[in-house]
């Protein structure tokens, strides 16, 4: 039994063990650096004061959510294309969407905490905030669809198509600040002119945040994928057991 | 059974897409989150509530019994705001603000003021440490 | 709440959300590997076992 599990474990990881450990270590180091730079080394903003430091978490969290949903979409397309179809892509899509949902929820929470001291309100019904909330519920719906029991291939196809459809909201979220009038500011870094409106230590801190959250995404993804793989194995074992029991009864 | 599940999935996807399209149409066509001062003065006779965006004109802020009175401008037009309640933390001369409320009745001088009950600060996308001398700290034009 | 309070709260919430999620993955992984059980095993395994 344990030998079989060990076998499954070895094939289950997304990254080679050594690479996974390096990513984990770099994630922790960069999160430490982000905390040091975000809370101490970076200066407070001239307009917003200390409250602006929330940016160093809010922006990277939003970035990580974009990355996660992008990977979900890419993996879903690779599943849909017959030549690259593999259960691996289905697991990647599901794992990445769940992580993306966590980052989207975090982005909304952090945004609210930033909005109260700076805008004066916890929430505003503007295009950026509403489209982000819609994004959260779309991917919640995607995960609900994944949870509907079905044959693996049926479930994977259904999920892949849904993933491609719900991704439409990601560019809407990103460009909402350019397309509509919003209370939310326009992009500081990834603006249409690609000319970051932030410099020096503040810009450095923001970049550390983006790197830290990207590494964190990879680290979480590595683990969440393995979990998906192991739980699929359990489902199969449970099915085998049920069949065995039934055939045993007939015997 | 398999067919029914597929229909449920397709149904959910369709609802999601309709929701997205609805959102896009709603936000682009109908909902204008704020109006500039120039746009706002064009609908001075309207009693509708809306949000008015402008920069606080320095030297015009005065406390009233119920809150604060000040002028905002978009660089072309300037209007007086009567705000009920406390202004937010970052409210100061030159700050870019969104005031939520409606036009009041015209005064003896003939010009209506805007009665606001909520002020939000609309900060820009530029970030700078305090020591650097900045020319623009707002995303809205100043008077 | 002061600005510093909001900043501390934002770091704390980030730690709780992401730490909680990582912990949940770790726990579910341990359960899936059979290292931990959250629920009582349903029925005793049949004699012929599952390893065949």
What ipTM was predicted for this assembly?
A: 0.90
B6, B68: one domain: no
d(CA B102, CA B80): 12
B40, B27: one domain: no
8 Å CB contact of C17 and A106? yes
**Contacts for A226 with CB less than 8 Å, ≥ 6 apart:** A9, A12, A13, A14, C29
8 Å CB contact of A120 and B121? yes
Q: Which of C32, C45, C51 to mutate to test the interface with A (most CBs of A within 10 A)?
A: C32
B83, B96: one domain: yes
**Contacts for A156 with CB less than 8 Å, ≥ 6 apart:** A79, A87, A90
Find the closest chain A residue to B16 by CA distance.
A138
Residue A5, token pair as written in the block = 């599990």
Enumerate the β-bridge partners of residue B62: B69
- How many domains does the structure of chain B reveal? 2
Which residue in B16, B20, B130 is closest to A43 by CB distance?
B130
C17 touches chain A (CB under 8 A): yes
Cβ(A41)–Cβ(A201) below 8 Å: yes
pLDDT at A9: 54
pLDDT at A190: 85
In sequence order, what E strands does A84-222 have? none
- For residue B124, list chain A residues with Cβ-Cβ distance below 8 A: 47, 185-186, 197
B26-64 pLDDT, tens digit per residue, is: 665 556 789 999 999 999 988 888 999 999 999 999 999
d(CA B67, CA B69): 7
8 Å CB contact of B16 and A150? no
* C10: closest CA of chain A, how far (Å): 6
- Average confidence score pLDDT of chain B: 82
- For residue B27, list chain A residues with Cβ-Cβ distance below 8 A: 127, 130-131, 176, 179-180
What pTM was estimated for this model as a whole?
0.86
B96-130 pLDDT, tens digit per residue, is: 999 999 999 877 677 889 999 999 999 989 999 88
Find the closest chain A residue to B120 by CA distance.
A119
Q: Which of B15, B125, B130, B140 to mutate to test the interface with A (most CBs of A within 10 A)?
A: B125
Enumerate the β-bridge partners of residue B55: B73, B96
B22, B50: one domain: no
8 Å CB contact of A106 and C14? yes
B90, B110: one domain: yes
8 Å CB contact of C7 and A54? yes
Q: Is C19 helix (H, G, I), strand (E, B) or coil?
A: helix
Task: Specify the DSSP class assigned to residue A84.
Answer: G
pLDDT at B131: 67
B26, B42: one domain: no
Domain contains B27? yes
Query: Structural domain of residue A76, as residue ranges?
Result: 24-35+48-227
| Chain B neighbours, 3+ Cβ pairs < 8 A | A
In sequence order, what E strands does C1-52 have? none
Domain contains A250? no
B48, B105: one domain: yes
C50 touches chain A (CB under 8 A): yes
Residue B4, token pair as written in the block = 């029914």
Residue A113, token pair as written in the block = 């905490």
C7-26 pLDDT, tens digit per residue, is: 999 999 999 999 999 999 99
* A13: closest CA of chain C, how far (Å): 12
A130 touches chain B (CB under 8 A): yes
Scan for tokens 């399209």, then name that residue.
Answer: B21
Query: Structural domain of residue B11, as residue ranges?
Result: 1-31
Query: Nearest CA to A162 among B112, B120, B6?
Result: B6
Domain contains B141? no
pLDDT at B16: 72
Q: Is B86 helix (H, G, I), strand (E, B) or coil?
A: coil
Domain contains A182? yes
Query: Nearest CA to A211 among A7, A22, A34?
Result: A34
Find the closest chain A residue to C5 by CA distance.
A51
Q: B103-120 burial by CB neighbour count: b if 16+ within 10 A, else e?
A: beeeeeeeebbbbbebbb
* C20: closest CA of chain A, how far (Å): 10
B25, B85: one domain: no
| Chain A neighbours, 3+ Cβ pairs < 8 A | B, C
8 Å CB contact of C13 and A35? no
**Contacts for B106 with CB less than 8 Å, ≥ 6 apart:** B112
Domain contains B131? no
Task: Specify the DSSP class assigned to residue B43.
Answer: T
Q: Where are the alpha helices (DSSP H) in A37-86?
A: 55-80
pLDDT at B142: 40
Task: Specify the DSSP class assigned to residue B30.
Answer: I
CATH of the domain at B106: 2.40.50.140
8 Å CB contact of A46 and B6? no
Which residues of chain A carry a pLDDT beneath 70? 1-11, 248-251
In sequence order, what E strands does chain B have? 35-36, 50-56, 62-63, 67-73, 78-84, 96-106, 112-121
pLDDT band at B11 (very low <50, low <70, confident <90, very high): confident
d(CA A30, CA A237): 40
Whether pLDDT at B133 is above 60? no
Q: Is C44 helix (H, G, I), strand (E, B) or coil?
A: coil
Query: Nearest CA to B39 among A184, A76, B48?
Result: B48
- For residue C12, list chain A residues with Cβ-Cβ distance below 8 A: none
Domain contains A247? no
**pLDDT, greater one: B73 or B135:** B73
B27, B40: one domain: no
Find the closest chain C residue to A240 by CA distance.
C50
Q: Which residues numbered 34-53 in B keep a CB inside 8 Å of some CB on A?
A: 34, 53
- For residue A176, list chain B residues with Cβ-Cβ distance below 8 A: 27
Enumerate the β-bridge partners of residue B102: B115
B20, B88: one domain: no
- How many domains does the structure of chain A reveal? 1
Whether pLDDT at B134 is above 60? no
A51-87 pLDDT, tens digit per residue, is: 999 999 999 999 999 999 999 999 999 999 999 999 9
B81, B12: one domain: no
Domain contains B129? no
Terminal Cα-to-Cα distance of chain B (whole angstroms): 67
pLDDT band at B141 (very low <50, low <70, confident <90, very high): very low
- For residue A100, list chain C residues with Cβ-Cβ distance below 8 A: none
Domain contains A134? yes
B68, B114: one domain: yes
Domain contains A11? no
DSSP letters spanning A159-196 = HHHHHHHHTTHHHHHHHHHHHS--SSPPPSSS-TT---
Find the closest chain B residue to A180 by CA distance.
B28
């Amino acid at each position: 039994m344990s030998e079989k599990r060990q076998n499954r474990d070895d094939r289950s990881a997304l990254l080679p063990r050594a690479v996974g450990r390096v990513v984990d270590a770099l994630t922790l180091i960069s999160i430490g650096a982000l905390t040091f730079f975000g809370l101490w080394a970076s200066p407070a903003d001239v307009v917003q004061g200390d409250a602006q430091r929330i940016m160093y978490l809010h922006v990277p969290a939003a970035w990580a959510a974009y990355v996660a949903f992008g990977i979900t979409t890419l993996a879903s397309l690779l599943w849909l294309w017959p030549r690259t179809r593999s259960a691996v892509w289905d697991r990647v899509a599901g794992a990445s969407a769940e992580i993306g949902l966590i980052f989207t929820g975090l982005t909304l929470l952090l945004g609210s905490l930033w909005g109260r001291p700076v805008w004066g309100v916890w929430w505003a019904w503007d295009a950026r905030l509403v489209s982000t909330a819609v994004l959260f519920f779309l991917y919640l719906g995607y995960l609900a669809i994944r949870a509907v029991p079905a044959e693996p291939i049926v479930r994977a196809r259904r999920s892949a198509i849904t993933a491609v459809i719900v991704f439409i909201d990601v560019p809407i979220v990103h460009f909402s600040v350019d397309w509509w009038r919003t209370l939310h500011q326009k992009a500081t870094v990834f603006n249409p002119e690609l000319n970051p409106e932030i410099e020096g230590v503040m810009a450095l801190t923001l970049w550390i945040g983006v790197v830290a959250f990207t590494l964190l995404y990879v680290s979480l993804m590595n683990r969440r994928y393995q979990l998906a793989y192991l739980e699929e194995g359990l489902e199969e074992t449970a099915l085998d057991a049920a069949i065995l029991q039934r055939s045993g009864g007939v015997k | 059974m398999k067919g029914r599940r597929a229909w449920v999935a397709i149904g959910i996807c369709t609802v999601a897409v309709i929701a997205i399209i609805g959102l896009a149409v709603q936000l682009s066509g109908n909902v204008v989150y704020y109006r500039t001062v120039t746009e706002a003065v064009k609908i001075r006779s309207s009693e509708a509530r809306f949000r008015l965006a402008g920069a606080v004109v320095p030297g015009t802020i005065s406390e009233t019994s119920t809150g604060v009175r000040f002028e905002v401008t978009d660089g072309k037009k300037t209007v007086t705001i009567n705000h009920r309640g406390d202004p937010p933390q970052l409210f100061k001369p030159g700050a870019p603000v969104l005031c939520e409320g409606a036009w009041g009745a015209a005064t003896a001088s003939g010009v209506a003021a805007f009665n606001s009950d909520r002020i939000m600060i609309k900060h820009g996308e530029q970030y700078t440490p305090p020591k650097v001398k900045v020319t623009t700290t707002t995303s809205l034009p100043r008077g | 709440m002061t600005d510093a309070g909001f900043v501390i709260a934002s770091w704390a919430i980030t730690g709780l959300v992401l730490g909680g999620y990582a912990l949940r993955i770790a726990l579910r992984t341990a359960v899936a590997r059979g290292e931990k059980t959250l629920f009582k095993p349903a029925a005793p395994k049949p004699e012929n076992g599952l390893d065949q």
